[in-house]
Amino acid sequence: MKWIPKFNSSNSLRVIFVIAVFILLFLSSIAYKHNQDLNESSKLVMHTYEINIQLERLMSAIKDAETGQRGYIITRNGRFLTPYIYSRDKVNTSFITLKKLTADNPKQQKNLQKLFGLITQRFTSFENCFKYSNPQTYDKRKLDNHMFGGRILMDNIRFQVDEMNDIEKRYQQKRLKIYDQEISLSPVFSISLFLTALIFIILSYRQISKDIKRLKIFNKKLLISSRLMAESEVIGKFSTWQWDLDLNKIDYSDNQYRLLGFKPNAFVPEKDTFLNFVHPDDKEAVAKSMEGIVNKKQLPFIYYKITLPNNEIRYFKSTGKLLTDQQGSQILLGINFDITDEHLLNIELQERNRELEKSNQELASFNHVASHDLQEPLRKIQTFISRVSDADKAVLSDSAKDYISKIEVSAKRMRVLIDDLLLFSRTNTTKKEFIKSNLNELLENAKSELTEIIDEKKATITVSKLPKLDVIPYQIEQLFINLIGNSLKYSKPDIRPEIDIVTEKVSSKDYPDLLEPNSKKFYKITFSDNGMGFDSQFKETIFILFQRLHSKTDYPGTGIGLAICKKIVENHKGHITADSILGKGSVFTVFLPE
Amino acid sequence: MKLFIKFDINTICSLFLKQKLEEQNMNFTTLGFGEIELDENLSVEALETLKNDLSPFGFEVVENQKSVLVQKIKDAIIELVYMDDNNNFKSSVFLAEKLNHSYGYLSNVFSEVTYSSIENFIILQKIERAKQLMLVNEMSLTEIAFLLNYSSVAHLSTQFKNTTGITPSAFQRIIKKRRENLK
Amino acid sequence: MQKNALHILLADDDEDDRLFFKDAFEEVRVQTKVTFVHDGLQLMEHLMQPDVKLPDILFLDLNMPKKTGKECLIEIKKTEHLKNIIIAIYSTSSSEEDIEDTFIEGANIYIKKPSDFNTLKKIINEVVTLNWHYHTSGLNRDNFLLRLK
């Protein structure tokens, strides 16, 4: 079914969509990852800052403790000891926090441990300073030592803190750098991917809209053709039906209902619905061929009768075909033709043909019998006359002698007529036995048949070589006799007749007016003479039975000779034509199939 | 006065004939009633004289003699026709020489006895041979025409048709079908 | 020309034809004895008589009542003691088919009944002469085919 369009794009469209979806999925996963990374890095920064702050706190607590210590040592006022005492707690708190914060970093832990050691030493040094600054236990040298040691410890602590800060910073910087790198790459990539996806989507959109447009056009065509189909079903008096074997669903075309004498969709067809309409005579045959169709996949034409609800009988012709669609489901398609009109016409035609054949046969046998049986009495008339004229003419009166000679002439003429008629009817009725014959021989026979008149008129007959053909020998001989005889008969009185017989092999397509153009080979035999000729307007009529161009007193004849020629040539599936220029001569052309 | 004479006609005739023949100095033997054999062949003229002598008495030479001659002519014609190399002979010359009579005489005797002419008989025999050659030797018309000294196939065909009323090909066809019928 | 008269048998149902035939033979130079039968049955009865003198030539009309000439022809050619009779078909028909048919069935001569008495005499003469030739000149009777118009 050619008219169903192929939507090739649907598959490629699918591919495009899948690719686009993948690209989008990919893009969102990248975005998600970036988000994660960002979170991570901000956490990292926070972490670093927190460590930094805690370290600064630690430092300031130590510094507070140092300031408090100094103040107390100088003033011996207990109020200065308060920051020192708090600082101790602060240091611990910060320290715990730091320990948590650096839990993931063994190096920092180690540094923290070291810092803790230093801080502990520093607080020990504070205690010692207090001890030796206490007036009760005052020892200037030891205090100086501790104070000085404290100073060095402080520097160490600061150094350690700075180092830890540095480590964090470096670590953070390294992370940020990687992050920056990643962050700086992704936008270009994402955008290009996005654009690609966009292009894909646009392309597929275009394709879809194109397909939709085509689909619309085809839908329109489909609509038109289905209407056309419905119309032509009505006009052509046929209908279609489909039977989905898998779903066991049967659809009738609108006209099918009409042909069965219903309005479209008047009932829901089932498997045996149709059979109910079939005339009882044909039911079995139709049922059988319906079953056969599934096996044979094809149904040759079946002919049967249908009885309509109003008891009218219609003649149907049906055929069907089993189709398997792409999905593999089997559908039986059928066409029914209502051939009632043709059928009735055919019957009438056959009847007429039979009548015609019968009357033809009757005519032929009548012709044969009539002329055959007419011969008998005529022959006797002639024979008796011949006996009379031989013996008794002397005794007769002159008028009686005259009557007898007139009877003789008429009887002779009747004899010629009957002989010719008989010959004509025989060219129709005798069995047509084709025998491979040498036409040269048949022509010789014809010439010897005509010897007398040829000699009498001193005619010359020139013949080019004739072929060997499958012919009815007598008939071809008769044809030659008639054609040559015709030329001799209508020769000019003062000129010796010259008859030229020329053979040529031709193809039927060279003579499309005369022969069926089926490229068959023919022998074209032309008989040309230098006789009186005839007006070329009569070139068709001279072949008609009893048509004569001359009065019978001038040229006795029956008007049968050329009709016999035509009949003979037709019996050989050939063709004969005549042409002439009045006063110059005639040409008869015979085409005989090879 | 009435006399009743009894006579034997046979004896009278035999005696009369004997006397007549002796008059002509002919030696003969009587073979039976109405048939005598002469010791020597008579010339046509002598035979003619004898005929004329006898006819006033109601005797007629039954022309057996002529029949014999006709038979001889026929034999000579057959010999001529079946000779494979007969182009050198003109039939009239051949017959005259062979039978020691003028052709005119032969021709007369022949038509008198057979009611047909020597020429016709020659043609009949030639056609007969043509038939044989056609059927037995399966020769073509061309070959036959050459062998039987016809100027052309057409000439042979025409003569065949004129003699038998049918064409050589029809003749062949008929005989062939006849033979098939017999099988 | 012949010691004994030529024995001719004509089978024809037409009285006029028999008359023409008889008259024609009377005018022929050859001495003949002509016998007539009126139809096919009579012909066969005649030929089947025990001591019948078989004809030298049988003239046979094709179109006869009771038994057609062609049926007689076939029957004669099938009968051992009759099959050598020279048979001349004597008929009105000039159909090539009839002619060839009867020749094939064994007829020797085919004569189309002439429409002129002189022609009839001429034909009969010809037949008798040729027949005599066939009898006396060693011609093959199997090849004896003659068609006269």
* Per-residue pLDDT at A26: 83
Question: A399 by DSSP, 3-state: which?
Answer: helix
Residue ranges of alpha helices (H) inside A254-339 are 254-259, 273-277, 280-296
**Are B166 and C145 a contacting pair at CB < 8 A?**
yes
From A441, A447, A448, residue closest to B169, measured CB to CB: A441
**Are B165 and C133 a contacting pair at CB < 8 A?**
no
Chain A contact for C16 (CB, 8 A cutoff) = yes
Distance from CA of B153 to the nearest CA of A (A): 9
Distance from CA of A561 to the nearest CA of C (A): 17
State the chains in contact with B (3 or more Cβ–Cβ pairs under 8 Å). A, C
**Are B165 and C110 a contacting pair at CB < 8 A?**
yes
Chain B contact for C103 (CB, 8 A cutoff) = yes
* Per-residue pLDDT at B141: 85
* DSSP state letters, chain C: --SSPEEEEEE-S-HHHHHHHHHHHHTSSS-EEEEEESSHHHHHHHHHSTT----SEEEE-SS-SSS-HHHHHHHHHHSTTTTTSEEEEEES---HHHHHHHHHTT-SEEEEPPSSHHHHHHHHHHHHHHHHHHHHS---GGG--EEE-
Q: B168 near B157, Cβ under 8 Å?
A: yes
From A435, A445, A451, residue closest to B167, measured CB to CB: A445
Q: Show the domain range for C47.
A: 6-148
Chain A contact for B46 (CB, 8 A cutoff) = no
Chain A contact for B170 (CB, 8 A cutoff) = yes
- Strand ordering across the sheet containing A460-463: A460-463, A498-507, A521-529, A585-593, A575-581
Residue ranges of B 59-98 with Cβ closer than 8 A to chain C: 67, 71, 74, 78
| Domain residue extents for chain B | 14-62, 66-116, 123-182
Q: How many CB pairs under 8 A join B and C?
A: 64
Chain A contact for C116 (CB, 8 A cutoff) = yes
Interface probe for C, chosen from B68, B71, B115 (most Cβ of C below 10 Å), is B115
B/e letters for A507-516, b = 16+ CB within 10 Å, e = fewer, are ebeebeebbe
Using CA coordinates, name the residue in chain C closest to A416. Answer: C115
Distance from CA of A395 to the nearest CA of C (A): 20
Residue ranges of C 41-100 with Cβ closer than 8 A to chain A: 92-97
**Are A437 and B157 a contacting pair at CB < 8 A?**
no
Q: Hey, how many other C-beta atoms are within 10 angstroms of the C-beta on A36? A: 10
Cα R_g (chain B), whole angstroms: 24
Task: Classify residue C121: in a domain, yes or no.
Answer: yes
Interface probe for C, chosen from B162, B178, B179 (most Cβ of C below 10 Å), is B178
Q: A243 near A332, Cβ under 8 Å?
A: yes
From B157, B169, B170, residue closest to A448, measured CB to CB: B157
Contacts of C14 in chain A (CB under 8 A): 376
The class that CATH gives domain B123-182 is mainly alpha
Residue B13 Rama label (left phi>0; alpha psi -120 to 50; beta): alpha
**Are C92 and A379 a contacting pair at CB < 8 A?**
yes
Contacts of C31 in chain B (CB under 8 A): none
State which residues of chain A have pLDDT below 70: 1-10, 182-186, 371, 389-391, 429-431, 517, 519, 551-556
Across residues B83-87, what is the average pLDDT? 66
Question: B134 by DSSP, 3-state: which?
Answer: helix
Q: How many CB pairs under 8 A join A and C?
A: 40
Q: Looking at this predicted complex, what is its ipTM? A: 0.84
Contacts of A375 in chain C (CB under 8 A): 92
* DSSP state letters, A323-379: EE-TT--EEEEEEEEE-HHHHHHHHHHHHHHHHHHHHHHHHHHHHHHHHHHHHHHHH
Q: B120 near B162, Cβ under 8 Å?
A: no
- Environment class of A193 (CB within 10 Å of its CB; exposed 0-12, middle 13-18, buried 19+): middle
From C95, C115, C118, residue closest to A415, measured CB to CB: C115
Whole-structure pTM over 0.80, yes or no?
no
**Are A383 and C115 a contacting pair at CB < 8 A?**
yes
User: Domains along chain A?
Assistant: 9-207 (1.20.1440.210), 237-338 (3.30.450.20), 348-429 (1.10.287.130), 431-593 (3.30.565.10)
From B154, B162, B170, residue closest to A444, measured CB to CB: B154
pLDDT band at C10 (very low <50, low <70, confident <90, very high): very high
From A383, A431, A474, residue closest to C20, measured CB to CB: A383
When divided into structural domains, chain C yields a total of 1
C-alpha to C-alpha distance for A377 and A383, rounded to whole angstroms: 10
- The yes-or-no verdict on residue B181 having pLDDT over 70 is yes
**Are C133 and B67 a contacting pair at CB < 8 A?**
no
Contacts of B166 in chain C (CB under 8 A): 99, 103, 145, 147
Contacts of C93 in chain A (CB under 8 A): 372
- Strand ranges inside A489-574, DSSP E: 498-507, 521-529
Residue ranges of C 57-76 with Cβ closer than 8 A to chain B: none
Using CA coordinates, name the residue in chain B closest to A438. Answer: B169
Q: A475 near A566, Cβ under 8 Å?
A: no
Task: Classify residue C96: in a domain, yes or no.
Answer: yes
**Are B181 and C104 a contacting pair at CB < 8 A?**
yes
Q: What is the CATH number of the domain that holds C43?
A: 3.40.50.2300
Task: Classify residue C1: in a domain, yes or no.
Answer: no
* Per-residue pLDDT at C1: 39
B41: tokens are 């062949």
From B115, B128, B178, residue closest to C104, measured CB to CB: B178
* Per-residue pLDDT at A483: 92
Digit-coded pLDDT (tens) for B50-66:
777 777 776 666 556 77
A407: tokens are 């009877």
Distance from CA of C128 to the nearest CA of B (A): 10
From A375, A382, A426, residue closest to C92, measured CB to CB: A375
**Are C133 and B164 a contacting pair at CB < 8 A?**
no
From A390, A411, A430, residue closest to C117, measured CB to CB: A390
Q: Rounded to 5 degrees, what are φ and ψ at A575?
A: -150, 145
Using CA coordinates, name the residue in chain C closest to A433. Answer: C97
Contacts of B82 in chain C (CB under 8 A): none
* Per-residue pLDDT at A527: 92
Distance from CA of C54 to the nearest CA of A (A): 29
Using CA coordinates, name the residue in chain A closest to B152. Answer: A444
